[in-house]
């Protein structure tokens, strides 16, 4: 106890004079911990809010849906309130503006939502809408896009509705959903008049129930489940919605925590770097203390205490900052949130952040700090005795092991998936390792091949990269990793957008008409021909579900052992299939063959997309029973096709042979290529005017939508990445300050022997130019590797270099490093040469 008290006293004494250097180390962890606490707090609050607002998320106690109309009379007696919705994708037009857009039309009957409400402007618009008449509630985003306002008209199919209100929030829907397919609510009584629901149309029928309370939703689901599944009816209650929403946002929150974790790791490099310099300066004092009879353990304790206290302070400051930051997060994430998020203090997040901060401070400080144990008291007599055989210290390797364990453990805690944990930690180690090797390699190369023919400032600046007390490794690691993160983010965003734009540039189809009735095919084709546009494809599409594979239906599949179970998605998916006996240009047979259906009674052989078949373990010869809109149809897997989904064409997971589905309810798709955006817009408006049920997608709209969505996503990721950048800048600044004292001595000596300010500025600028360049280039190299891996393996698109982007990142990061280096060296240049005598 007395020893601990004395150690604490010594720690306090030491801190008085050198505490400012430890403050630098604290600053390195503050931003990372702030990001971690902010995201964890936000995740906690979001989880609580999803629990609290679960009923509002669904808007009802129970929702049933199917792609064919259905009645549930039994439930009608159990429910206090009922509502019906029929929704489908359709074009809408704004009369007078001559423009149209694909939306989700929702015909509503009843008082849905029973819990929560539509949020619309003006306030009375919902009651106006429900009062009756040809009135529509339209998503605000759509109104803004077409410069329309409440009171204007909107044409849905054949009917013109008055816009009663601008919807700002639909229960359970996020801003992103609205970007993809904005909703237009119309009263059910006018649905038929619109003429949009026809034979073969892709329509969802929904029934909403508010229960009386005699039986709750899980009990009802249990009682009716089997029957509904046979009928292909999907069901969802509050608990199920809560879980699925919670899961999605849990994943989002964990992903963002991972981004914050990277900022924390960058801070760790700063910690190790600051403590390394701190320890180097302390070695003579350690030797004196050893002479005076202080044991190695006690000395180690004195410095460890300082780090523990400073790490704790840094973590608490970070936690405080993070808690304050979560007030901003709901604004950042507004487009992704289905519920109102309340901001509350999250003690679990604060404890997580503080604990993590202290732990990483200690772990990363331990590596340099362990050196203290091996300092010989002989160093007081001979400074060269400081040479420490540290490489073989088993404790050092134990600490490295602990760091690896911590990183893997923490990543798993955030990801809850061993494979992802392996890839994430693997890449982080690879990145750090690569940066470390690059830094060491550069130092060695410069030392070995320092070009003596170069002008003095160049040589001096280059030599500064490897001389004692250099910050080359720390700076290349932190700036490099920060650059890699930002650059990868931009890279992937550009790759995805380029992929879509690229498709537009090539001589490929760029306009797609769908939901065309069989009776309309000829007329729509004629329109295209009249406009001198080619009909590149005309494809019939039939929607169906899958009942069973080799006799195993959804219910049996769920009871199978995990390793035998097929994905539930196989049974829940609505398949859109076509029929033909030939291949198209974007596909080729890789196994089996296309078997035509010759006469009634023959087996029906379908062709599956290879990847989908393999993911779902569907083998050649397997029996698949499809439910073609109520009618079971037994088929067999006849072949696998390799499909190039990059081409803008109608590609299918399942292709039937001809002469099987001809009489099934279906719709048609027509694909063409227009010359200009204006030509595309004119054609779109003309088709929508003449055939209101036909939907149109043109590539320009997809690019716009994708740009908007990616813009929103990247804003969130960039916001999180900002913490890494700030951490990188802080580590950079602290490294500069640490090396400042060393530099002051050198600069004074150089000035004493006649170097002018100009020369010194040149040396400083060049040194940071080299450091910034090397760090930025190393980071860019890492980002190229990461972006290439993501493009090829995750997005399955070819990888393309983005030279302009890389150039911009390189210039930005290098300029920032040079600027901060210059800013830091202003004092150095001002110091009087008299210091050399005084020293």
Partner 1 sequence: MGNEDFYPSKMNILQVQNLTKTYQSGNRKLTVLDGVTFEVMPGETLSIVGPSGSGKTTLLGLCAGLDTASAGSVLLDGEPLEKMSEDQRALLRNRSVGFIFQNFQLLPTLTALENVMVPLELKGRKDAQKVALNLLDQVGLADRATHYPTQLSGGEQQRVSIARAFANEPKILFADEPTGNLDTETGEMIEGLIFKLNEEKGTTLILVTHDLELAQKTQQIINIKGGKLQEVTHG
Which one among 110, 246, 250, 284 touches partner 1, defined by CB under 8 A? 284
- What is the closest distance, in whole angstroms, from the C-beta atom of residue 308 to partner 1 in the complex? 18
Contact flag: residue 811 with partner 1 (CB under 8 A): no
Residues 295-314 that bind partner 1 (CB under 8 A): 295-297
Q: Which residues contact 797 (CB under 8 A, 6 or more apart)?
A: 495, 496, 499, 646, 791
Backbone angles phi, psi at 71, to 5 degrees: -125, 140
Which runs of consecutive H residues, i.e. helices, occur in 292-338? 296-325, 329-332
Which one among 292, 598, 753, 837 touches partner 1, defined by CB under 8 A? 292
Is the CB of 380 or the CB of 701 nearer to partner 1?
Answer: 380
Is the CB of 13 or the CB of 227 nearer to partner 1?
Answer: 13
- What is the closest distance, in whole angstroms, from the C-beta atom of residue 297 to partner 1 in the complex? 7
Report the half-sphere exposure of 94 (CA within 13 A, side-chain side): 19
Q: How buried is residue 587: exposed, middle or buried, by Cβ count under 10 Å (0-12/13-18/19+)? A: buried
CA distance 146 to 93: 9
Contact flag: residue 6 with partner 1 (CB under 8 A): yes
551 three-state secondary structure:
coil
Which one among 173, 204, 285, 701 touches partner 1, defined by CB under 8 A? 285
Contact flag: residue 386 with partner 1 (CB under 8 A): no
CA distance 801 to 254: 30
Is the CB of 1 or the CB of 753 nearer to partner 1?
Answer: 1
Q: Which residues contact 224 (CB under 8 A, 6 or more apart)?
A: 72, 74, 75, 235
Q: In 3D, which of 543, 530, 535 has the Cα closest to residue 513?
A: 535
Is the CB of 16 or the CB of 392 nearer to partner 1?
Answer: 16
Is the CB of 278 or the CB of 579 nearer to partner 1?
Answer: 278
Contact flag: residue 837 with partner 1 (CB under 8 A): no
Is the CB of 17 or the CB of 505 nearer to partner 1?
Answer: 17
Q: In 3D, which of 314, 218, 384 has the Cα closest to residue 26?
A: 314
| String of contacts with partner 1 for each residue 346-385, x by CB under 8 A | ------------------------------xxx-xxx--x
| String of contacts with partner 1 for each residue 721-750, x by CB under 8 A | ------------------------------
Is the CB of 297 or the CB of 405 nearer to partner 1?
Answer: 297
- What is the closest distance, in whole angstroms, from the C-beta atom of residue 295 to partner 1 in the complex? 5
| Strand residues in 644-784 grouped as ranges (E) | 654-656, 667-672, 695-698
DSSP string covering 331-355: HHTGGG-SSPPPP---HHHHHHHHH
Q: Which range touches partner 1 (CB under 8 A), out of 259-267, 284-292, 337-345, 811-819? A: 284-292
Is the CB of 284 or the CB of 596 nearer to partner 1?
Answer: 284
Q: Which range touches partner 1 (CB under 8 A), out of 157-165, 279-287, 678-686, 824-832? A: 279-287
CB under 8 Å, gap of 24 or more: what pairs does 7-16 form?
Answer: 7/298, 7/301, 7/302, 7/305, 8/305, 10/302, 11/302, 11/303, 11/305, 11/306, 11/309, 14/285, 14/302, 14/303, 14/306, 15/306, 15/309
- What is the closest distance, in whole angstroms, from the C-beta atom of residue 393 to partner 1 in the complex? 15
Which one among 290, 554, 743, 762 touches partner 1, defined by CB under 8 A? 290
Contact flag: residue 17 with partner 1 (CB under 8 A): yes
- What is the closest distance, in whole angstroms, from the C-beta atom of residue 372 to partner 1 in the complex? 13
Q: Which two tokens stand for residue 488?
A: 């990868």
Residue 445 Cα distances to 448, 451, 452, 534, angstroms: 5, 11, 14, 62
Contact flag: residue 289 with partner 1 (CB under 8 A): yes
Residues in contact with partner 1, counted by CB under 8 A, come to a total of 29
Is the CB of 286 or the CB of 577 nearer to partner 1?
Answer: 286
| String of contacts with partner 1 for each residue 768-807, x by CB under 8 A | ----------------------------------------
Report the half-sphere exposure of 423 (CA within 13 A, side-chain side): 11
Cα–chain-centroid distance for residue 327?
Answer: 21
- What is the closest distance, in whole angstroms, from the C-beta atom of residue 381 to partner 1 in the complex? 5
Contact flag: residue 387 with partner 1 (CB under 8 A): no
Which one among 176, 288, 386, 535 touches partner 1, defined by CB under 8 A? 288
Q: Which range touches partner 1 (CB under 8 A), out of 293-301, 488-496, 644-652, 784-792? A: 293-301
Which one among 16, 389, 392, 631 touches partner 1, defined by CB under 8 A? 16
CA distance 350 to 41: 8
CA 308, 309, 311 angle in degrees (round to 5)? 65
Q: Which residues pair with 138 in a beta bridge?
A: 166, 184
Q: Which residues pair with 210 in a beta bridge?
A: 81
- What is the closest distance, in whole angstroms, from the C-beta atom of residue 10 to partner 1 in the complex? 8
Residues in the site for partner 1, rule: CB under 8 A? 2, 6, 9-10, 13-14, 16-18, 284-285, 287-297, 376-378, 380-382, 385
């Amino acid at each position: 106890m007395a020893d601990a008290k004395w150690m604490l006293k010594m720690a306090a004494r030491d801190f008085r004079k050198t505490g400012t250097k430890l403050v630098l180390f604290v600053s390195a962890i503050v931003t990372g911990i702030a990001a971690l606490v902010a995201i964890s707090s936000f995740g906690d609050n979001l989880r609580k809010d999803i629990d609290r607002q679960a009923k509002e998320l669904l808007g009802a106690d129970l929702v049933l849906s199917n792609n064919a109309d259905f009645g549930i009379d039994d439930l009608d007696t159990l429910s206090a309130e009922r509502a019906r919705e029929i929704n489908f994708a359709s074009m809408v037009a704004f009369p007078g503006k001559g423009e149209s857009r694909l939306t989700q039309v929702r015909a509503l009957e009843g008082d849905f939502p029973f819990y929560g409400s539509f949020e619309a402007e003006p306030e009375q618009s919902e009651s106006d809408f429900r009062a009756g008449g040809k009135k529509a509630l339209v998503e605000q985003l759509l109104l803004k896009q077409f410069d329309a306002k409440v009171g204007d008209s909107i044409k849905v199919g054949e009917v013109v509705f008055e816009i009663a209100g601008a919807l700002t929030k639909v229960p359970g829907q996020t801003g992103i959903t609205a970007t993809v397919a904005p909703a237009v609510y119309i009263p059910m009584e006018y649905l038929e008049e619109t003429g949009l629901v026809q034979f073969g149309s892709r329509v969802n029928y929904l029934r909403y129930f508010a229960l009386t309370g005699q039986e709750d939703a899980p009990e009802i689901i249990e009682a009716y489940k089997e029957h509904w599944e046979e009928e292909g009816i999907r069901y969802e209650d509050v608990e199920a919605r809560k879980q699925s929403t919670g899961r999605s946002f849990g994943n989002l929150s964990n992903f963002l925590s991972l981004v914050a974790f990277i900022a924390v790791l960058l801070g760790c490099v700063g910690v190790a770097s600051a403590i390394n310099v701190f320890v180097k300066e302390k070695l003579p004092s350690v030797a004196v203390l050893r002479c005076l009879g202080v044991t190695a353990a006690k000395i180690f304790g004195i410095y460890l205490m300082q780090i523990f206290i400073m790490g704790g302070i840094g973590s608490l400051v970070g936690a405080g900052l993070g808690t304050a930051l979560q007030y901003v997060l709901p604004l950042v994430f507004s487009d992704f949130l289905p519920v109102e998020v309340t901001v509350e203090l999250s003690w679990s997040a604060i404890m997580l952040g503080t604990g993590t901060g202290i732990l990483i401070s200690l772990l990363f400080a331990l590596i340099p700090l362990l050196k203290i144990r091996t300092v010989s008291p002989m160093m007081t007599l001979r400074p060269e005795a400081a040479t420490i055989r540290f490489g073989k210290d088993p404790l050092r390797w134990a600490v490295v092991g602990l760091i690896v364990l911590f990183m893997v453990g923490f990543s798993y805690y955030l990801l809850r998936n061993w494979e992802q944990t392996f890839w994430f930690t693997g890449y982080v180690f690879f990145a750090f390792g690569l940066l470390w090797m690059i830094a060491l390699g550069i130092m060695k190369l410069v030392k070995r091949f320092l070009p003596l023919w170069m002008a003095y400032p160049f040589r001096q600046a280059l030599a500064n990269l490897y001389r004692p007390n250099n910050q080359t490794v720390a700076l290349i690691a932190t700036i490099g990793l920060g650059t890699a993160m930002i650059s990868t983010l931009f890279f992937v965003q550009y790759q995805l957008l380029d992929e879509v734009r690229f498709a537009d540039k090539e001589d490929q189809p760029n306009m797609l008409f769908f939901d065309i009735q069989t009776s309309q095919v000829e007329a729509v084709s004629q329109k295209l021909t009249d406009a001198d546009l080619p009909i590149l494809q005309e494809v019939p599409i039939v929607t169906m579900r899958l009942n069973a594979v080799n006799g195993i239906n959804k219910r049996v599949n769920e009871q199978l052992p995990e390793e035998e179970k097929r994905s539930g998605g196989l049974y829940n998916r609505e398949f859109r299939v076509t029929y033909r006996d030939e291949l198209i240009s974007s596909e080729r047979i890789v196994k089996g063959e296309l078997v035509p259906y010759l006469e009634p009674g023959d087996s029906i052989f379908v062709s599956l997309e290879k990847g989908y078949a393999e993911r779902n373990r569907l083998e050649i010869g397997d029996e698949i029973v499809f439910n073609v809109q109520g009618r079971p149809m037994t088929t067999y897997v006849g072949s696998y096709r390799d499909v190039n989904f990059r081409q803008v064409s109608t590609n299918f997971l399942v292709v039937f042979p001809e002469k099987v589905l001809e009489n099934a309810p279906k719709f048609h798709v027509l694909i063409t290529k227009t010359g200009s955006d204006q030509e595309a817009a004119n054609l779109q408006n003309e088709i929508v005017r003449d055939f209101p049920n036909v939907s149109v997608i043109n590539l320009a709209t997809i690019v716009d939508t994708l740009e908007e969505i990616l813009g929103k996503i990247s804003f969130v990721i960039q916001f999180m990445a900002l913490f890494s950048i700030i951490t990188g800048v802080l580590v950079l600044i602290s490294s500069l300050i640490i090396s400042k004292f060393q530099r002051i001595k050198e600069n004074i000596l150089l000035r004493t022997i006649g170097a002018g300010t100009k020369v010194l500025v040149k040396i400083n600028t060049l040194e940071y130019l080299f450091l910034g360049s090397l760090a930025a280039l190393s980071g860019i190299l890492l980002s190229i590797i990461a972006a290439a891996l993501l493009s090829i393996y995750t997005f399955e698109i070819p990888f393309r270099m983005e030279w302009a982007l890389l150039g911009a990142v390189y210039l930005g990061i290098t300029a920032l490093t040079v600027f901060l280096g210059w800013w830091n060296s202003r004092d150095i240049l001002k110091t009087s040469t008299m210091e050399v005598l005084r020293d």
